[in-house]
Amino acid sequence: MNKKLFDILVCPVTKGPLIYDKNNKELISKSSRLAYPIENDIPVMLPEKARKLSLEEVEK
């Protein structure tokens, strides 16, 4: 994923920081407990497309 793009992206729900999960190709927002998918190197920053994270996943 493009470093410059990652540096400017925030969670659309909380406006908080994101964590890049390279293995799952997702951007993680711990504050909203959502994981936004990355498809074809493009982050899909739509809350309705995001996967809900369990408490265990957030604590990792």
pLDDT digits (tens, 9 = 90+) for 4-28: 888 899 999 999 999 999 999 999 9
Give alpha helix (H) positions in 1-60.
3-8, 55-59
What digits encode the pLDDT tens for the residues 33-54? 999 999 998 999 999 999 999 9
Fold of 3-59: N-terminal domain of TfIIb (2.20.25)
CA 7, 3, 14 angle in degrees (round to 5)? 30
Please name which of 55, 10, 49 lies closest in space to residue 33, comparing C-alpha atoms: 55
Cross-strand partners of 38: 43
Model pTM score: 0.89
What is the residue extent of each domain of the chain? 3-59
Convert the pLDDT of each residue in 23-36 to its tens digit.
Answer: 999 999 999 999 99
Cα–Cα distance, 60 to 40 (Å, whole number): 26
